[in-house]
Amino acid sequence: MSFFDKETQNRIDNWLTSEYDETTRALVQTLVDNNENTELLDSFYKELEFGTGGLRGVMGVGSNRINKYTIGKATQGLANYLKKEFPNQSLKVAVSYDSRNNSQSLGHLVADVFSANGIQVYLFQELRPTPMLSFAVRHFGCQGGVMLTASHNPKEYNGYKAYWNDGGQLVAPHDKNVIHEVNAITSVKEIKFDRNEDNIVIVKEDFDKLYIEANKALSIHPEAVESEKDLKIVYSPIHGTGITVVPQMLAAWGFTNVHVVDEQAAPNGDFPTVIYPNPEEEEAMSMAKIRGQELDADIVMATDPDADRVGMAVKNLEGEFQLLNGNQIGSLLVYYVLSSKQEKGELKLNDYIVKTIVTSNLIADIGTSYDVNVYETLTGFKFIGEVITKEQGKANYLVGGEESYGYLVGDLVRDKDAVNSCAFIAEMAAYFKSKGKTVFEVLIELYLKYGFYNEKLISLTKKGKAGAEEIQQMMIDLRADAPKILGDVRVKEIRDYQNQVITYLESGDQVSIDLPKSDVLQFITVDGDVISARPSGTEPKIKFYCSVKEDLVTVSDYDSISKKLEEKVINIMADIVKE
């Protein structure tokens, strides 16, 4: 009796046929000969699927791994779909890649497949950030685009972000339709791998200037940058693509005192100085933070490998460097943009901002206080990009973001943009400094005005097929036996985005949720606490978010209220997070 179900065994057998190259067959055969059944199961139990961030997975052989065949198949499926959606048109796509191992070779493979399908490819000559790929799709009038990256995932991962003609990642119905086209490919022989050089256009360094100048035109307070141009900035690209553009962007805006963390400057897919190349992780920010302390910097910033996320550290009230979480950074950016626009008399009736459902309500509070519309989307910046595209010509997007350190000021792209965000964070710090304030002092001002928000994220990693099933069961159990009390606080409503319904526990009344289906549960307490649970769309994780709030009357109460809220978060999380 086989260790595997029939479909998994069929996939393994297929990858041992002559359709696949000799090296690939040998690697699969070695796993079989050594009875590496767990690895085989995880590698072949399913086909890679598009999540909130496109294709993403561990590199290796197999249908559930990132390799030339899964990437080739995805590209052939996307090419087939583009031809159906844009008939009788000369098709164009843009392709870029980050610093991960194999990203460049996979990027060239993607270009090969598109070019072999008669599609003109704008291929970046060297690694560049994800937001520049989105910018290129729009600049060159492409129907699509592909970025080879696994964003902030560990080094064994790589991935494939697919973009539509608006410069945003694939959303419904295109995401599912592309998967349908990919799944319709039944043989490797259907993938056109033979490069057509006539269809390849190389995007060179001069494109950087177009992107930088377009962003510089968005600057709100250039006079503040001029007066504080020696603002002391420490920046780390964490071995990623940020080094190619972020220092140049900051210089173009007028900042003259930027210090790059040398040990993390060179692109390197092994990410040798960090465990995870993710600015959400304190460990990944530690080297930049230490450099900031040594130099007595004003701000410290670090971007992830494809430079669409940015982390930040600033001096707190005691003068010690403190990491800000994604909600705090996003709230500060929203406040800076809205308050500055109001100061200059530039706010309009049709202005709006966007946040996701698991992002701090502080952002919504700020937006409401400035009389701008606040849109809320599902988790994933592609949904924010979708709103920007839908509202184009009708309303004016200013700024948006999500708690996972992704932000965008202005609508030059349709994805989160850490290069753009670094420039605005620096400008924000310069502006506040010109007013005699630190970034942290402004954050406290926001808490005094809108309430002290304390937020925490707990992620549980569950790898492989067994892990995926465990995560699915955890969500099933939460729905079947939803908590009525969390941290000794009564739950008043449950928002089930999968079933698209809000249930009010006291009355039993239900109202529908006007958002697409998504496997997310939210519990709202009588205190206004928001607790969310969702499987990650990009990693083998289930994530639990908690946001609590209390009034902050004076700055002197900051420490005591902070401690009280932290204890409340711990108690709430203990009731919902089950290892």
pLDDT per position as a tens digit, 430-465: 999 999 999 999 999 999 999 999 999 999 999 888
Q: Is the peptide bond before 173 cis (omega within 30 degrees of 0)?
A: yes
- Nearest Cα to Cα of residue 155 among 103, 225, 231: 103
pLDDT per position as a tens digit, 399-442: 999 999 999 999 999 999 999 999 999 999 999 999 999 999 99
Return the pLDDT at 50. Answer: 66
Contact 237, 263 (CB under 8 A): no
Span 38-58, average pLDDT: 84
Contact 489, 565 (CB under 8 A): no
Alpha-carbon gap, residue 153 to 538, rounded angstroms: 8
* Long-range contacts (CB closer than 8 Å, 24 or more residues apart) made by 318-322: 320/293, 321/289, 321/292, 321/293, 322/440
533, β-bridge pairs: 521, 544
**In the predicted structure, residue 536 carries a pLDDT above the cut 90:** no
168, β-bridge pairs: 414
Could you state, in order of their start, the residue ranges of all structural domains in the chain?
46-204, 210-450, 453-576
Q: Fill in the amino acid letter for 334.
A: V
Span 545-562, average pLDDT: 96
Contact 97, 106 (CB under 8 A): yes
- Nearest Cα to Cα of residue 236 among 303, 162, 181: 303
pTM: 0.96
Is 453-576 in the same CATH topology as 46-204?
no
255 phi/psi in degrees, rounded to 5: -80, 130
314, β-bridge pairs: 299, 322
Tell me the DSSP string of 191-216: S-----GGGEEEE-THHHHHHHHHHH
CATH superfamily of 210-450: Alpha-D-Glucose-1,6-Bisphosphate, subunit A, domain 3 (3.40.120.10)
Which residues touch 563 (CB under 8 Å, ≥6 apart)? none
Return the C-alpha torsion angle 432, 413, 154, 305, nearest 10: -70
Indicate the SS3 state at residue 515: coil
pLDDT band at 51 (very low <50, low <70, confident <90, very high): low
Residue whose structure tokens are 């086909």: 47
Determine what percent of the chain is predicted with pLDDT higher than 70.
99
Return the pLDDT at 179. Answer: 86
Residue whose structure tokens are 């590199």: 59
Return the pLDDT at 52. Answer: 54
Return the pLDDT at 465. Answer: 84
CATH 3.30.300.30 fits 46-204, yes or no: no
Alpha-carbon gap, residue 113 to 118, rounded angstroms: 9
Residue 434: DSSP 8-state: H
**In the predicted structure, residue 1 carries a pLDDT above the cut 60:** no
The token pair that represents 476 in the structure block? 């099933």
Query: Is 151 a known active-site residue?
Result: yes
Alpha-carbon gap, residue 306 to 568, rounded angstroms: 35
Fold of 453-576: TATA-Binding Protein (3.30.310)
Q: Where are the alpha helices (DSSP H) in 125-205?
A: 130-139, 174-183
Return the pLDDT at 538. Answer: 76
Contact 414, 420 (CB under 8 A): no
**17-38: burial string, b at 16+ Cβ within 10 Å, e else:** eeebeeebbebbeebeeeeeee
- Active-site residue identified among 63, 115, 151, 547: 151
Return the pLDDT at 53. Answer: 61
Contact 188, 69 (CB under 8 A): yes
pLDDT per position as a tens digit, 274-329: 999 999 999 999 999 999 999 999 999 999 999 999 999 999 999 999 999 999 99
Return the pLDDT at 330. Answer: 98
Q: Fill in the amino acid letter for 54.
A: G
Alpha-carbon gap, residue 528 to 526, rounded angstroms: 5
**453-476: burial string, b at 16+ Cβ within 10 Å, e else:** bbbbbbebebebbebbeebeebbe
Contact 568, 548 (CB under 8 A): yes
Span 122-141, average pLDDT: 98
SS (H, E, C) 91-123: CEEEEEECCCCCHHHHHHHHHHHHHHCCCEEEE
